[in-house]
Every structure is written in structure tokens, then in C-alpha cells.
Amino acid sequence: MAGSDAGGLESTGIVFTGDDGELYVRLNWTKRYITLAAISTVLGLAFKLKDPENLLGKGEDLGITCALVPSDTPGVVLGRRHDPLGIPFYNCPTEGHDVVLKLEDAIIGGADGAGRGWRMLMESLAAGRGISLPATGSGSVKATGRIASSHAKVRKQFGLSIGKFEGIEEPLARIGGYSYLLEAARRYTNGGLDKGAKPAVVTAIAKYTFTELARKAINDGMDILGGNAISRGPRNLLAHAYVNIPVSITVEGANILTRTLMVFGQGAIRCHPYTLNEILALESGDVKAFDANFWKHIRHVVRNLFRALGLSVTRGRLASVPASGISARYMRKISWASASFAFLADLAMGTLGGNLKRKEKLTGRFADIFSWMYLGSAVIKRYEEEGRRQEDRIFVEWAMEYALANMQEAFDGLYKNMSVPGLTWLFRGPIALWSRMNALSHGPSDKVGHKVAVAIQTPGEQRDRLFPGVFVGSDETEGLARLERAFRLAHDAEPLERKVKAAIRSGDLPKQPIDKLVNAAVDKGVLSAEEGKVLAVASAAAADAIEVDAFTLDQYRQTATTIVATVADVDIGTEQLATV
Ligand SMILES: Cc1cc2nc3c(=O)[nH]c(=O)nc-3n(C[C@H](O)[C@H](O)[C@H](O)COP(=O)(O)OP(=O)(O)OC[C@H]3O[C@@H](n4cnc5c(N)ncnc54)[C@H](O)[C@@H]3O)c2cc1C
């Protein structure tokens, strides 16, 4: 059982010679989690391999090794399942007691693969973490976007679509902005992976940020849908995503650890032009190489300091960038952020040394700046690659201002909390104050947020491009297809509603809900018969789309098992609960 501390795994393998003279490995493990293990035909297992008789000629402790274990091998214990938040996929505990396998067949890579498991795990994660969970994250945000924007248009309160209220516009704009941003970063990241790169830091950023933004978007969606999101049943389009999202947050490196340890912890050394070389030179005792890198490193720090100062005073205008227009504006700001980031990162590494990795509140903020620079770069890349579509400027502006404001928040936190011997007062006082006064961004404006919210509540090509790849279905009597139909009809009925409202204001029609006035509006010639039909169909579709599932007591007992179990525990009758 290892969990976050993958290197601390306790599963073991011992190499020995069998009676037939062949090499075998005897495996023992107790693992809490392997997805689908109980119904698998083969298990993938990482363990610490020992070779007490040095039969492989590589020493006694071979280290982490990966093997494939047929599930029906004697000694493999399977069968029990966990219940991951009610989601119908099996996650399972498994044990292995003296499981014996031919070494060459079991170990991935045969005898050569012995002791190379850590590298295999890291390489697989370096690629895998950039694919499945980021796709799930971006898909969840886009699906939430379709659901929440349709619902916001269809659902009326106080005589208006709720999406017209500024309070609802805010979460709608966030969901729209995240959709553009995450789709941009998904394509950017997968483009790199397609070319064969295994960028461990980038994929850690993707795993962490995509799932975190998905969590935020789903929460926003839940707020927008109100009771429709709370009432479970086939009509509920969001509850499963809401329940599901912690699984994405936890697996393949739980998010807190990914943010605080992996993104900056790995990135600071791997992405730094000199630190890794310095460490390697120290390890190999190569004084000359160390000196060369050390002095280059010092020059690098001094250059970054002046660059950061110059870009901060000019708000990035000094940076030369290969673009024009809105892209240039934001590239300059990212250059400015990156110069400050590079200088501060060196300062933190220089002053804290090995202690930095324990200062997770600092490394987390460095990770945030680094991650938002990456996501922001992906947004600019998408805008440029798609030919600078003018109608998408609002998404770019929203996403970039949001990214820069997140960077700013992390910088503010660093200035307020970093200790720099002899200079802490300077960072916590004048520099922190200057940074706040001269912020990278204060976040997207209300105006741009309004435009994003309106755009995603307008059916058409732009909305479809923002939320592509979401399963809508073709049966318009159920699921998202029903909601999207009501959404389109609500859009078409808007000008007709305006006519009816004008007639109410002028006293030609009584003050009543619009859906109750359709016949009267036709009778009085406010609407034509055809228009009356359109409005009636739209009203009926809206009423159907916002309906929630209701159950008989027996049905309820079957679906709400958790609540029933809780009620039974405290000895209150279910009927009483239902009545309450
Ligand atoms: C549904 C499901 C399927 C899974 N499938 C598999 C599978 O197929 N194969 C497999 O090997 N594993 C699998 N896992 C295990 C999964 O990888 C672990 O749950 C995950 O790594 C977290 O470990 P943990 O649950 O032990 O939590 P812990 O390690 O106890 O972590 C708890 C919290 O502490 C934080 N934390 C831990 N260490 C640090 C640190 N140094 N700094 C900051 N924060 C820290 C974590 O981020 C987390 O928030 C699965 C888990 C689940 C729930």
C-alpha cells in the first residue's frame, strides 16, 4: 500500500532458481487499490525486487520493478470491491501470497527490466497524466457549459431567463471561459504528446489544473441548476459529474500533492537551465563543470532580476513578442510574469535550498504561477492557430485576464510570505505594495463576462465550437437533447415574448405569466396564429425541460439507498422522512 508516496511501496519480489533450473520470482503484496482488478485477467504490479543470491548479477537490491501477473495464478487474492462514490466501475483491493511466476515472462522487459520499474512508472504517468484525466476535465466543463447555459436560458424567474441576471452571468462566464481555456490546453498538451514528448511537468500541470477547473465548473453548474441539479433521477444531468469529480481529483497523483510537490518540485530542477547540470556535476565530482554552470547561473539570476524590473516598470511593454493585437498584449504580460517568476524561483531555491520542498505553501504558489503561464500560453496558441476569430476575442480576453489574475494572487502570496535573509521587509513591504498597485490583472471585467455569458446562451456555430464533442443524443424526449431543444425554442420565442410583454405594458393584455397569455395574445392580434404556436411549443418544452424526477415510496427506497440506510441507523421510519 503506497498511495501518494509511490516510492514507499511495500510489495516485494524475490528472485530464485526453480527445480527446473529456470529463474523465478516470488511475489507478495497487499494493495488497496487497483481499478477493475476483481474482473481482470492480468494485474499490473509494481514491487521492490530483491535478488539475495545475485542470480541476475545486478546486486541484491534491484529496486522498483513492474510485472504482469495473470489473475488466476495461485496465491492471487481477488474478489472484493470498493464502492467509489456509487460510480459503477470496480475498484478493488488485492493481495498476493507467495505468487510464483517465471521471471522472464512476468517482469516487463524480462530480466533487463528488473529494477527499471520506477522509470517505467514515471514515463507512463508522464504521458498518461496528460491524456485521460485532462480529457475528462475538459469534457466535463464543456458538458456543464451546454447544460448550464441551456438551463439558464430556459428557466425563468421573476419573468426573465435566469441567465439574464448578473448573479448567474458570473458562473456562466466562468464556465464559458474555462471551456475555451481547457480545450486550448488539451489540444496543446496532446499535440506535444502526439509528437512523442513525455513532458512530466506539463502533464502534472494538466492533471491538476484540468480536474480543479472541472470541479469549479461543475460546482458553478450545480448553483445555476438549483433544485434541478439536486433532485436525483434520469432527468438530472449534473449530479453524477458532481459526485464523480473527487475521483479525478484523487487518482493518478492526488491534486494537493501534484500541485505542491510535482509541478514546481520537479519543474524547478528539470526546467531550470543550470540547476540540474550543477547537481549532476556535484554528484560526479566534476568541479570544472560545476563552476561553469554556477557562474552561468549567477549571470542568469542577475539578468532575470533586471528583466523583471524592466518589464514590471513598463508593464511588459519592453518584451519583444512574435505576434500582434490582443495576442501580443498577453504574450508581453506572460513574459513579464515569467521574468518575475524565474527570479523569485532562483531566490527561493538559493535561500531555502533543500528546505524548499517542505515549504509547500510556497511551492504551491510557484506551481500556480507556472501552471497559469502554461494555460495562458495555450489560449494564445489556440487563438492564433484558429486564425484570430474576432468573435472569440471575448473568450481569449476572459481566459487571459483570469489566468493573469491567478498569477497575481500567487505572486502576492509569495511576496507576503517568503523569507529572504536581510530583505524580507523589502518583499513584504514595498515590493508587495508595488505588485498590488501594478497588478498583472485584476481579473476579467464585468463587461467581458457579460459578453461570454450572452454568447454561450445563444445557439449557433460559436457555441457549438466552444462546447464540441459533448454527447447530446437524438431523442429529444430525454436527457440533454430535451434540454437543448427547449433552449433553441426559447431562443426563437424571445422576440414573441417581447411582443407579449409590450402588450402587457400597454394594457392590451392582463399582467399574467406569458405562457398563460398565448391564446389571448393571438385573439387580440398581438401574435399571429403561427407565432402563438411557436410560443406555446417553447413554453411547453421549457416546462418539460425543468421538470425533476419524483418517485413513489417504493421507488425512492430503491434509489435513495444511502439515505434509507442512514435513517434506519438512527431508527426513524422512512415514511416519516418522506413526510418531513
Ligand atoms: C477509485 C480509485 C481507483 C484507483 N485505481 C488505482 C490503480 O488502478 N492503481 C493504483 O496503483 N492506484 C490506484 N488508486 C490509488 C490512488 O492512486 C491513490 O488513492 C492516490 O494516489 C492517493 O493516495 P491515498 O488515497 O492513499 O491518499 P493519501 O496518500 O493518504 O493522500 C491523502 C491526501 O494527502 C495529500 N498528500 C499526501 N502526501 C502529501 C505531500 N507530501 N504533500 C502534500 N500533500 C500530500 C494528498 O494529495 C491527498 O490530498 C485508485 C484510487 C481510487 C480511489
Asked if residue 241 belongs to a domain, the reply is yes
Q: 2 falls in which pLDDT band (50, 70, 90)?
A: low
Pocket test for ligand 1, best of 34, 122, 215, 251 (most atoms within 8 A of CB): 251
Same domain, 424 and 448: yes
Centre of ligand 1 to C-alpha 253, Å, is 6
* 433 in the same domain as 335: yes
- Answer whether residue 386 is part of any domain: yes
Pair 135, 102 in one domain: no
Enter the C-alpha cell of residue 180. Answer: 475555451
Shared domain for 149 and 103, answered yes or no, is no
pLDDT tens digits for range 181-205: 999 999 999 999 999 998 899 999 9
Report residue 493 CA to chain centroid gap: 36
Residues 108 and 142 in one domain: no
Q: How confident is the model at residue 330 (pLDDT cuts 50, 70, 90)?
A: very high
Asked, for residue 17, whether it belongs to a domain, the answer is yes
Q: How far is CA 472 from the centre of its chain?
A: 22
The CATH number covering residue 18 comes to 2.40.110.10
Distances from the Cα of 135 to the Cαs of 49, 160, 210, 309, 480, in angstroms? 35, 35, 8, 38, 20
Q: Which of 1, 33, 124 to mutate to test the pocket of ligand 1 (most atoms within 8 A of CB)?
A: 33
| Residue 81 cell numbers, joined | 470491491
Q: What is the CATH number of the domain that holds 326?
A: 1.20.140
pLDDT per position as a tens digit, 305-327: 999 999 999 999 999 999 999 99
Give the closest residue to 392 by CA, choosing from 401, 382, 405. 382
Q: Is the C-alpha dihedral spanning 190, 191, 193, 198 positive or negative?
A: negative
pLDDT > 90: percent of the chain = 83
Are 69 and 76 a contacting pair, CB within 8 Å? yes
Q: Are strands 12-17 and 42-50 parallel, antiparallel or unpaired?
A: parallel
Tell me, what's the pLDDT at 306? 95
> To which H or E segment does residue 94 belong?
strand 91-102
pLDDT band at 561 (very low <50, low <70, confident <90, very high): low
Ligand 1 pocket, residue 257 CB under 6 Å? yes
3-class SS of residue 406: helix
Q: Is 53 a catalytic residue?
A: no
Q: Which of 398-412, 433-447, 565-579 is predicted with the least confidence, judged by mean pLDDT?
A: 565-579
The pLDDT score that the predictor gives to residue 576 is 37
| pLDDT greater than 70 at residue 562 | no
469 domain residue, yes or no: no
146 and 106, same domain (yes or no): no
465-478 pLDDT, tens digit per residue, is 999 999 999 999 99
Whether residues 249 and 309 share a domain: the answer is no
Residue 571: pLDDT band with limits 50, 70, 90: very low
> Probe ligand 1: pick from 250, 264, 362, max atoms within 8 Å of CB?
250
* 290/410 same-domain check: yes
Residues 330 and 388 placed together within one structural domain of the fold: yes
Does residue 542 register a pLDDT over 80?
A: yes
Q: Is the CB of 260 inside a 6 Å radius of any atom of ligand 1?
A: yes
* In-domain check, residue 122: no
Does residue 354 lie within any of the structural domains? Answer: yes
Domain boundary among 117, 151, 183: 117
- Domain assignment of residue 234, yes or no: yes
Distance CA 546, CA 162 (A): 12
Q: Do 422 and 508 belong to one domain? A: no
pLDDT of residue 579: 32
pTM across the whole model: 0.92
Distance 49 CA to ligand 1 centre (A): 23
What CATH number is associated with residue 159? 1.20.140.10
- CB of 69 closer than 8 Å to CB of 45: yes
What are residue 99's DSSP bridge partners?
27
End residue of a domain, out of 66, 86, 117: 117
Mean pLDDT of the chain: 92
Say yes or no: CB of residue 149 within 6 Å of ligand 1: no
Please give the tally of structural domains in the chain: 4
Q: Let me know if residue 15 belongs to a domain.
A: yes
Domain boundary among 59, 90, 117: 117
One domain, residues 325 and 401: yes
pLDDT of residue 560: 64
Q: How many A from CA of 252 to the centre of ligand 1?
A: 7
Closest CA to 74 of 43, 96, 107: 96
User: What's the pLDDT tens digit per position in 23-62?
Assistant: 999 999 999 999 999 999 999 999 999 999 999 999 999 9
Model confidence band, residue 365 (pLDDT cutoffs 50, 70, 90): very high
Domain span at residue 485 reads: 479-545
Note the pLDDT tens digit of each residue in 118-138: 999 988 888 889 999 999 999
Can you name the residues that pair with 30 across neighbouring β-strands? 95
Residues 391 and 315 occupy one common structural domain = yes
